[in-house]
Amino acid sequence: MVQPGYTDDEVIKGCLAGKRHFQTMLYQKYARSLFAVCLRYSNNTNEAEDLLQEAFVKIFTSLKNYRGEGPLGAWLNRIVINTALSRFRKEKQSITVEMDEIPDIADEDPQDDLFTQLSKDHCQQILRFIQELPTGYRQVFNLYIFEGYNHKDIAQLLGITESTSRTQLHKAKLLLKERILRLMKPHK
């Protein structure tokens, strides 16, 4: 959704001036991609919409802090992730309980070749599997796989140790593999 006649800079200036018209433009341009991020960090669609709403309010109120050093999309992405993580920190106590309930899963699966059949057609199912992950696993998985953070950064962001981050990523991947394999088997 690109509005011809306006650059990102002009839209940002309009937003900073408090003009609703430009805020609408910014929202329409980035809402979809940011909503996809929100969905990955949430348990369900309603929670993702709440997260998107909270993130956009933060975006509009802190847009003055954007110095234009990087792409606007990346800056917006970071705000959404930070908003999701700050929610995660508030809910950390309950997450710990969830993590304890996760059973140990075998490290290796002989049917790894099945994963090569994954395609964009499976995106809804994969998203659902990610949403069903325990919150702590999900955050580490998203930060590592999609945002490209290393374990040291993840440990700092989430207030956990590096080894915990590695363990959670490992378990998250095992859980996902197990579910994806269940999904793929009938297709074989």
Partner 1 sequence: MESKRDIFEELIKDALQDMAPEPSAKVWKGIVRRLSWKEFLRFDITNFTSNIYQIAAVSLAGVSLTALLLTAVIQSREQESEKKEPPRQELTEDIQGQPNQSTDALTTEEPVKEPVEKSQPVLQQAKHLEEPIPQPSIEITQTHQIRYSITFRPSPKYSLLKTQYPTLASSSDELHKPALLKDEKAPWQINLGASWSWNRMQIPEATGDYRYNFNTLGLKANAVKGNFRFGASLAYQRLFDQLPYQINYKTYDSTGYIFNVHYYMPDPKNPDMVILITSKETVYDSVKHSTLAFTSGSYDYLTIPFSVGYKLLIFNKFSIFMDGNATLQFLVHKNEPVPALFNSYKSSLLMEADLPRRKNLLIDLGAGLTLEYTIFNRLNLIAGPSWRWWLQPLSNSPEASKPSAWGIKAGIDYKF
* Cβ atoms of residues 35 and 48 within 8 Å: yes
From the CB of 23, what's the least distance to partner 1, in Å? 7
DSSP type of residue 65: G
**By C-alpha distance, which of 79, 86, 82, 72 is closest to 29?**
72
Select 99 or 114, whichever has its Cβ closest to partner 1: 114
Q: Is 39 in the site for partner 1 (CB under 8 A)?
A: yes
Q: Is 122 in the site for partner 1 (CB under 8 A)?
A: yes
Q: Is 53 in the site for partner 1 (CB under 8 A)?
A: yes
Select 92 or 181, whichever has its Cβ closest to partner 1: 181
Pairwise CA distance, residues 147 & 161, whole Å: 19
* Cβ atoms of residues 82 and 59 within 8 Å: no
Select 70 or 115, whichever has its Cβ closest to partner 1: 115
Q: Is 105 in the site for partner 1 (CB under 8 A)?
A: no
**By C-alpha distance, which of 64, 86, 66 is closest to 76?**
66
* Cβ atoms of residues 130 and 138 within 8 Å: yes
* Helical residues (DSSP H) of 42-134, grouped into ranges: 45-61, 72-90, 92-100, 123-132
From the CB of 80, what's the least distance to partner 1, in Å? 12
Contact string (CB under 8 A) for partner 1, positions 132-151, x = contact: -------------xx-----
Residue from 69, 104, 119, 187 binding partner 1 (CB under 8 A): 119
**By C-alpha distance, which of 88, 104, 75, 73 is closest to 41?**
88
Q: Is 101 in the site for partner 1 (CB under 8 A)?
A: no
Q: Is 164 in the site for partner 1 (CB under 8 A)?
A: no
**Which positions lie near partner 1, rule CB under 8 A?**
1-5, 18-21, 23-25, 27-28, 31-33, 35-36, 39-40, 48-49, 52-53, 56-57, 60-61, 108, 112, 115-116, 118-120, 122-123, 126-127, 145-146, 173, 176-177
